[in-house]
Structure 1
Amino acid sequence: MLESAKRYTGYTAYDYLEPGKDYKVFEYAEQISRVPAYEGLELSDSQRERVVRLLTDEIVISLHDHVQVFPQDMGQLREHIRQGREPTGYRGLARSGMTAVFDNGMDGTCCISSDAGWKYQDVLFDLGVRMADIAHQDFVIKGETLKDIYRAHETGRMAHVFALEAATPIENEVDRLDVLYGFGVRQIGIAYSESNYLGSGLKERGDGGLTYFGEKAVERMNKLGFAIDISHSGDRTALETVQHSTKPVFITHCGSREVWPTNRMKPDAVIKACAERGGVLGLEAAPHTTLSAAHPRHSLESVMDHFTHCVDLIGIDHVTFGPDTLFGDHVGLHKAFASNLSTKEAHGRVEFPEVEYVDGLENPAECFYNIIGWLVSHDYSDDEIRKVVGGNTIRVLEEVWV
């Protein structure tokens, strides 16, 4: 990890409010050093200097993360979520080296008024409260255009891009996409693991593909300038979204089913189709997802097995990273919201050793230092590293965003 960015002055979430009066106080997880530091990288002094230089000088973008801080006691998680005031982890983000992060909020666990999640009013409330907090500080800026990302890079800030993992909250109202865009959302998924009005999710027994309404929604997304994500969509729905969209789409957080055979991974045919239309795949690192036969105990090495496979499959111009990390006990979150997140259906019957955290990719503060460290230690060039930590995403956004 880097030292804190110079621009960051120590602001913590909702500093402008009075704790205990304006909102309920919880003890939150550590944003830095919650778990032991990763020891899997053996870098020389010159390699460490190169890692810091790349992390400082280049535009580094996480295509998918959750940058909220979770309670230390995950037994308080639902009570914490009910109040609808998720705290952004500014301190950890200031140590991450990232220029921009696509933050996917709580989505299916946005259970302010309903345990089922995904309710339109809840999602709008969550977005609005988070945006109000961002408006009261000067380190993180609301990322809505490429100019915002470039400005963040030039001024030592971070661009925070609001995103949703699925369009489920729009129900059958295509104009709600305009509302979400107006709120500042700039990336949206087609379906989460459960099917919705647009198409099928990856947990379903059958996949009916992109619906007529889904086609209409994709057309509106293209017109508005949404980046489209197919990470959680069923295989047929994902392929038909790639085909129907007039712009490249993202698989923001996933891996290859050829490397680890679960529904949560995408088959190589879908990954290739996405790349052939100009899209990009972001490598996933949430616990127990991107495992590999060579490294079944989830770690940075497991994720990089997917990276090398996908670079061989579609080329280095179409691969990046969407670690899907957060500040707190990610495994505890999966257990607390197993039904909402469809973890059982996503893993299927594949056996794997459970971990308490993903070694080397535990939270947003550490991910890109270790990713770039791995790339440096494996002799990737500066130009190759520049592409996979941000350049490939920028290229797609130049075509997709308005």
Structure 2
Amino acid sequence: MQPPNPRYQGYRSFDYLEPHADFKVFDLAPEIDRVPAYDLGLSAEQSARVSRLLTEHMAISLHEHPKVLTADVTLLRDYNRTGRNVLGYEGLARSGMTALFDNFMNGTNCVTSEHGWKWDDVIYDLGLRFADIAKQDFVVLARTVEEIEKAKAGGQLALVAGLEAATMIENELDRLDILYGFGVRQIGVAYSQANQLGSGLAERADAGLTNFGRRAVERMNRLGMAIDISHSGDRTCLEVIEHSAVPVFITHAGARAVWPTNRMKPDEVIRACAERGGVIGLEAAPHTTLSEEHREHSLESVMDHFTYCVDLVGIDHVAFGPDTNFGDHVGLHDSFTGHLSIGQAHGHVEHPRVPYVAGMENPAENFTNIVGWLVKHGYGDDDISKVIGGNILRVLKEVW
């Protein structure tokens, strides 16, 4: 974890409102020091190099959910029903990141329904988050590469709005334009369940990209909206890659050859993505990117997927999308397992259950530990620069 960014002046979500009178207040999880710090055993010289790399280069998370969860996860539904998700400004100020793709929590939002992916709930999520961001000047909404670069130059953190699935557009193609107009610059095709565009990875059969899905991919290309296939079925992934005129992202996943569940991507999909110029971001949500060598989920498990993917498709096509938040992520999964089809996606391969992913527990610590691991294992500055942000920027320059 890095020292606090001097641009951060202590703002907390919705400070412009009166607590209890204007919004319901919940006890929230700590943004920093919720779990013990992860010790990589770096020397003073190595630690200094980590700080230098994060200062000199772009560090971009391809997939996060930087909201702060309730301290008591059984209250998450009540919290989500308010529509007001607290953004972890304090934690982000210590992250060392230049930018992050915020994918909100649309699979668990329940403002108007007990089920996720509703259009009205997405609008609540986006609008309230953007209003909150507008009331401070540390986190800035980024819609172009130039705005990310400007944030870096000014010591700010760029937030790119993304959504994990296009389920909420239903059969309304123009809703993609509306989302783009609001500032959304990345969207997934399907979450684990199938939708109008294509199949999700939790379905028993994958019929591929639908005719409507093909039109949606074309519209996203025309808009300049990055496409994510992390939660799509294998056939759907391949057909999206083939049909898109520009590279696509696997924003948060791992290699099925390393850990055999549907949540991971097979070599065929990872290769196809890379061959068209795309990038895979390595996932770190609890009990996803495990490995035979490190079955107890930790930074080491995640990096087993990293080294495999680098060997498979090369250093230019690998990045990180840790998929973390502030609070009890395991408790979140337990609370919403039915809504998110977690059982079907993660499979039933036996592994130790952990209370959190050591070394990649939250957005505040992820990139310090990722860069620390890369430094410890002898990676050069150029390669580190590519995987922590350079590869993502290359794709964005073509897509946006």
Q: TM-score range by the shorter chain?
A: over 0.9
- Deviation of residue 107 (structure 1)? 1.5
- Distance in 2 (CA, whole Å) between partners of 1:111 and 1:193 is 18
- Deviation of residue 319 (structure 1)? 0.1
Structure 2 residue aligned with 1:296: 295
Structure 1 residue aligned with 2:197: 198
Write out per-residue CA displacement over residues 84-141 of structure 1, whole angstroms, 9 at most, x where no aligned residue: 0001000000000000000000011111111111000110111000000000000000
Structure 1 residue aligned with 2:259: 260
Pairing of 1:80-119 with structure 2 (within 5 A) = 80-119=79-118
- Deviation of residue 75 (structure 1)? 1.2
Structure 2 residue aligned with 1:22: 22
Given that residues 106 and 121 in structure 2 are in contact (C-alpha distance below 8 angstroms), is that contact kept between their aligned partners in structure 1? no
- Distance in 1 (CA, whole Å) between partners of 2:393 and 2:25 is 38
- Deviation of residue 56 (structure 1)? 1.5
Structure 1 residue aligned with 2:12: 12
What is the percentage of aligned positions where both structures have the same residue?
65
Structure 2 residue aligned with 1:232: 231
- Distance in 2 (CA, whole Å) between partners of 1:83 and 1:175 is 27
Over 6 Å off, 4+ runs: none
Q: TM-score, normalised by structure 2?
A: 1.00
Letter in 2 for 1:257: R
Structure 1 residue aligned with 2:275: 276
Alignment RMSD (CA, Å): 0.5
Q: Secondary structure at the match of 1:394?
A: helix
Does the alignment pair 1:65 with 2:59?
A: no
Structure 2 residue aligned with 1:335: 334
Letter in 2 for 1:186: R
Letter in 1 for 2:256: R
- Deviation of residue 346 (structure 1)? 1.0
Letter in 2 for 1:34: R
Structure 2 residue aligned with 1:209: 208
Unmatched runs of 5 consecutive residues or more in structure 2: none
Structure 2 residue aligned with 1:159: 158
- Distance in 2 (CA, whole Å) between partners of 1:319 and 1:290 is 15
Q: Secondary structure at the match of 1:108?
A: coil
Letter in 2 for 1:307: F
Q: TM-score, normalised by structure 1?
A: 0.99
Q: Secondary structure at the match of 2:187?
A: strand
- Distance in 1 (CA, whole Å) between partners of 2:161 and 2:199 is 23
Letter in 2 for 1:49: A
Unmatched runs of 5 consecutive residues or more in structure 1: none
- Distance in 1 (CA, whole Å) between partners of 2:278 and 2:105 is 25
Structure 1 residue aligned with 2:358: 359
Letter in 2 for 1:252: T
- Deviation of residue 347 (structure 1)? 1.8
Structure 2 residue aligned with 1:223: 222
- Deviation of residue 42 (structure 1)? 1.3
Q: Secondary structure at the match of 2:261?
A: coil
Q: Secondary structure at the match of 2:107?
A: helix
- Distance in 2 (CA, whole Å) between partners of 1:19 and 1:394 is 39
Structure 2 residue aligned with 1:122: 121
Letter in 1 for 2:141: K
- Deviation of residue 349 (structure 1)? 2.2
- Distance in 1 (CA, whole Å) between partners of 2:395 and 2:60 is 12
- Deviation of residue 55 (structure 1)? 1.1
- Distance in 2 (CA, whole Å) between partners of 1:233 and 1:151 is 33
- Distance in 1 (CA, whole Å) between partners of 2:147 and 2:303 is 30
Write out per-residue CA displacement over residues 279-325 of structure 1, whole angstroms, 9 at most, x where no aligned residue: 00000000000000000000000000000000000000000000000
Letter in 2 for 1:189: G
Letter in 1 for 2:25: V
Q: Secondary structure at the match of 1:109?
A: coil
Letter in 2 for 1:16: Y
Write out per-residue CA displacement over residues 31-72 of structure 1, whole angstroms, 9 at most, x where no aligned residue: 001001112x11111100000101111110000000100110
- Distance in 2 (CA, whole Å) between partners of 1:347 and 1:282 is 18
- Distance in 2 (CA, whole Å) between partners of 1:348 and 1:93 is 32
Number of aligned pairs? 400
- Distance in 2 (CA, whole Å) between partners of 1:391 and 1:140 is 20
- Distance in 2 (CA, whole Å) between partners of 1:153 and 1:349 is 42
Q: Secondary structure at the match of 1:356?
A: coil
Write out per-residue CA displacement over residues 131-182 of structure 1, whole angstroms, 9 at most, x where no aligned residue: 0000000000001001110011000000001100000000000000000001
Letter in 2 for 1:291: L
Letter in 1 for 2:14: Y
Given that residues 318 and 387 in structure 2 are in contact (C-alpha distance below 8 angstroms), is that contact kept between their aligned partners in structure 1? yes
